[in-house]
Amino acid sequence: MKLKYKWICGLISVSLLSTAMTACSYPWSFLSTEKKEEQAGFETILPRTEESRKDARGDTKEKTGERGETQEKDQTEGNGEGGDSSEEDPEEAYPLPERFDYREWGRCPRVGSQGDLGTCWAFATMIALESSLLPEESWDFSEDHISLQNSFGMDQDMGGDYTMAMAYLLAWQGPVREEEDPYGDGVSPDGLTAVKHVQEIQLPKAKDYDAVKRAVYFHGGVQTSLYMEMESEESRSEFYNEETFAYYYNGAEASNHDIVIVGWDDHYPKENFTYAPRQDGAFLCVNSWGSQFGEAGLFYVSYEDVNVGSHNLVYTKVEEPDNYDAIYQSDLCGWLGQLGYGDETAYFANVFKAEEKETLEAVGFYATDENTEYEIYVAEETGKQGDFKLGPVRAKGRFQKTGFYTVELPSPVELKAGERFAAAVFIRTPGSIHPVAIEYRNKENDGVIAKVDLKDGEGYISADGRLWTRVETEQDSNVCLKAYTRRK
């Protein structure tokens, strides 16, 4: 048994998520590590008034229901024991218009100005999040709070990226209201609580423009990135046409500036760009340089821009802050790398200690690539480290799109105060050799990822669901797996 255990441990391999920091012309190499092949980005908005639905694609309310209903059905329907959620995404069946503009549907969020700080990523995050709630709810979330109160220990002038945005929101560190933490004073008060809970984020596939458009149409603004020579609305660039508000870059530089896609025009003239692309077509995007830039803060980016749509993020499930009473987690820096056995399958688990008498209602984890299948287990009354046995399957299904998902358990699990319990997931991600998302401490990057804490978790990985390896001690990582409870 010991030999087999050592052999299994030896199979574990790590892949770190590699992205580029975006800080408005200050590119950062976030992690000098192996990049996962075709790492997906994010996704999601549909006009949501009754009349706008009819105008945009005919009266389909009876088929699709209210916002988010079709997405939830596709990805989590039948999650109970014996259930399956493998049917095709119903959103794929609807034809998209050749032109779509949030401004015409009351969906365009307010345009802010980042000033001289490297906070384009923070503005893009909040713009995308705010757009996912419009027009029913109008919010002004704080860019100061996300850039100063996240778990990465970086100054506002150091930039950031989408992994930081996901980690902050999924950990319920925010968002908070702008009025509670105004932008630009360099001060962020402690103790503020999130006014919304983000429970799902999708990452549309890189350069899959159909997926990006469907994300915008059905869910919300898509956060993406560009290479920009310009640093503010006063800057000039040969790649930007100030007369037509049109941008096109086709060089070798990597992304260094975050923006939000809020529409598109398949027939936007290629002649509007200073260097004409081969074909017509452009995305309508919101920038973070105030209303003096572009067309009241918006501009067009050619479909042929080399970077746009390469990394994408959309917020597909945003709930009220009372949806659960507690969140158990150890991955405050979120998805920084991936762990596995050189195979598309693996088990992973986190052991937590119930603070009160409560019920385990849901678990949240990442699908690190498309068409990820999962099974969820709960082990109650766990013993010493690594000594627990999985019970019956509590939920199962398949996620068609890369992202973070919260899965409700059809039958909540009763927990006693002080009880140690394990939330565990079996995952199958086709084509992957590192299917498990982890928060990883890379000693070479301690200056960037200053707050990765390996003392706050008890996470495990297993090849067979019986023999478990402690990831904090053996792999310098935390498992990205959260548990949500309601208290008695």
12 or 418: which carries more pLDDT confidence? 418
41-50, 141-150, 193-202, range with the lowest pLDDT:
41-50
8-22, 149-163, 202-216, 306-320, range with the lowest pLDDT:
8-22
294 or 440: which carries more pLDDT confidence? 294
Question: Mutual orientation of helices 120-131 and 162-170 as an angle, nearest 10°?
Answer: 50
Look at residue 161 in the predicted model and tell me its pLDDT: 87
How far apart (Å, rounded) are the C-alpha atoms in residues 34 and 437?
A: 14
Look at residue 470 in the predicted model and tell me its pLDDT: 95
Query: For the residues 33-44, what does the mean pLDDT come to?
Result: 28
pLDDT digits (tens, 9 = 90+) for 246-283: 999 999 999 999 999 999 999 999 999 999 999 999 99
Given a cut of 60, is residue 158 above it in pLDDT? yes
Look at residue 260 in the predicted model and tell me its pLDDT: 98
Given a cut of 60, is residue 474 above it in pLDDT? yes
Query: For the residues 78-89, what does the mean pLDDT come to?
Result: 46
Look at residue 20 in the predicted model and tell me its pLDDT: 53
- Within 10 angstroms of residue 245's Cβ, the number of other Cβ atoms is 21
Cα 32–Cα 430–Cα 423 angle in degrees, nearest 5 = 80
Look at residue 22 in the predicted model and tell me its pLDDT: 57
Cis peptide before 269 (omega within 30 of 0): no
81-85, 325-329, 346-350, 423-427, range with the lowest pLDDT:
81-85
Proportion of the chain in helix, strand, coil states, percent, rounded to 5: 20, 30, 50
Best CA proximity match to 116, nearest among 234, 228, 261, 293: 234
pLDDT digits (tens, 9 = 90+) for 351-364: 999 999 999 999 99
Look at residue 58 in the predicted model and tell me its pLDDT: 34
Look at residue 30 in the predicted model and tell me its pLDDT: 30
pLDDT digits (tens, 9 = 90+) for 207-252: 999 999 999 999 999 999 999 988 887 778 899 999 999 999 999 9
pLDDT digits (tens, 9 = 90+) for 435-467: 999 998 765 554 455 478 888 889 999 999 999
How far apart (Å, rounded) are the C-alpha atoms in residues 394 and 376?
A: 5
Are the C-beta atoms of residues 27 and 254 closer than 8 Å to each other? yes
State the chain's mean pLDDT as an integer. Answer: 83
CA atoms within 13 A on the CB side of 338: 27
